[in-house]
Amino acid sequence: MRTKYPTTCEERRRGVWLLKTALVFIVAVFIVVVLRELRTIFIPFFIALFLYFMLSQGVRRLQRWRLPKTLIMIGVLAAIFVCLYLCGLLFFTGASSFIDHFPAYSEKVTQLLKNTLANLKLPLIDVKQYIAGIDWDNIFNPSQITALVSASMGNFTSFIGNLLLVLLLLLFMLGEKVSMVTRVARTLSEERAEELQNLVATIEARIHHYLFIKTVMSAATAALAALILLVGRVDFVIFTALLVFFLNYIPTFGSLFSTLFPALIAFFKFGFGPHFILVTAALMVMQFVMGNVLEPQVMGRGLNLSPIVILVALIFWGWLWGVVGMFLAVPVTSAIQIVCESVPALKPLAAAMSSE
């Protein structure tokens, strides 16, 4: 019995389309598995790459002033190391201080919850029995909470090791006499070479603009948050300001968590009263004005990504690389969108990712 093969052009095209779809799916799954399994390599590489995008224009501008490239690179790398080292030192010191002081807060939280539930005077007997049987000391066990925070923060030594790896990668990226893009372009036709260079230039310009504006706005937001906490006499001002600065790079969720932490500290210290309400309201208003009024005005067109795309990107990259993935989600997704815009077959996908 002979096998029947597709005879019409439509059937052949459908078969080719299904084959291409299956191959694309297999390649996508393979890439995701590689990125997840080798995240200890890819995370420092992508951090160094985005630092390169942020600093390359400034380095080229300094070179036009006839400054030696070696001197420029030493100065840039030293400045980055000092800034990140001091930020890391203050951050880990603040985390250690929070861990040391948490037992006092846990006692306040336990007593506060007991009093709150007692004041509710719930009429249901089963609920009262359930509440009476709760072991409050184990729920807010200081040793368990501090162990969880310590495990989440890691240690300062591993931070320094990752920082040095990022700086080493950045050194090689900035130190190239001829960029990799230029070397690849030399092997292509004139038209293809121009398209490649324009593509990379667009990615670099858009990510540089985003990271620069985001850094300035994050620093301003952190400074205002520190001022509010100082006036409100809330603990852990420096640690919270650094938390606000870094979490501000994560859209939506970052500002929420960076407001929640100092609000909880104020609640634990002052209880539910006018002091807590004023501090929390001031932080919320400040975050709203900075994130929804000033930043869009300064950012302009920005990365032109749809809010739903940003949300999905945060979830995906957060699952793939954890908290660092959430920091990198937006610029990586923007780079993918720019690549899709340059490929005719992927232009519908780029349009779907766009906010316009």
Quick: pLDDT tens for 255-264: 888 888 888 8
Q: Is residue 265 part of a domain?
A: no
Q: Are 254 and 310 in contact (CB under 8 A)?
A: no
The residue among 289, 290, 281 whose CA lies nearest residue 262 is 281
Quick: pLDDT tens for 318-331: 888 888 888 888 88
Q: How far apart are CA 320 and CA 312, in angstroms?
A: 12
Q: Are 255 and 287 in contact (CB under 8 A)?
A: yes
Task: Count Cα atoms within 13 angstroms, Cβ side, for 82.
Answer: 6
Q: Is residue 149 part of a domain?
A: yes
pLDDT greater than 60 at residue 178: no
Q: Is residue 254 part of a domain?
A: no
Q: How far apart are CA 193 and CA 303, in angstroms?
A: 24
Q: Is residue 27 part of a domain?
A: no
Q: Is residue 204 part of a domain?
A: no
The residue among 169, 312, 299 whose CA lies nearest residue 252 is 312
Based on the structure, what is the number of domains in the chain?
A: 1
The dihedrals phi and psi of 262, each to the nearest 5 degrees, come to -65, -30
Q: Is residue 159 part of a domain?
A: yes
Average pLDDT along the chain: 76
Question: What is the predicted pLDDT for the residue at 343?
Answer: 74
With residue 68 as reference, give the H or E element that holds it.
Answer: none
SS3 66: coil
Task: Count Cα atoms within 13 angstroms, Cβ side, for 147.
Answer: 5
The residue among 121, 7, 49 whose CA lies nearest residue 335 is 49
Q: Are 247 and 255 in contact (CB under 8 A)?
A: yes
Question: What is the predicted pLDDT for the residue at 16?
Answer: 75
Question: What is the predicted pLDDT for the residue at 112?
Answer: 64
Quick: pLDDT tens for 69-99: 778 888 888 888 888 888 777 777 777 776 6
At 313, the amino acid letter reads A
pLDDT greater than 60 at residue 5: no
Quick: pLDDT tens for 201-218: 888 788 888 888 888 888
Q: How far apart are CA 109 and CA 105, in angstroms?
A: 6
Q: pLDDT confidence of 292, banded at 50, 70, 90?
A: confident
Quick: pLDDT tens for 14-47: 777 788 788 878 888 898 888 888 888 888 888 8
Q: Is residue 312 part of a domain?
A: no
Quick: pLDDT tens for 109-121: 666 666 665 555 5
Q: pLDDT confidence of 301, banded at 50, 70, 90?
A: low
Mean pLDDT of 133-142: 50
pTM: 0.71
Q: Are 233 and 202 in contact (CB under 8 A)?
A: no
Residues with Cβ within 8 Å of 1's Cβ and at least 6 positions away in sequence, in order, are none
Domain interval for residue 99:
40-177
Q: Is residue 4 part of a domain?
A: no
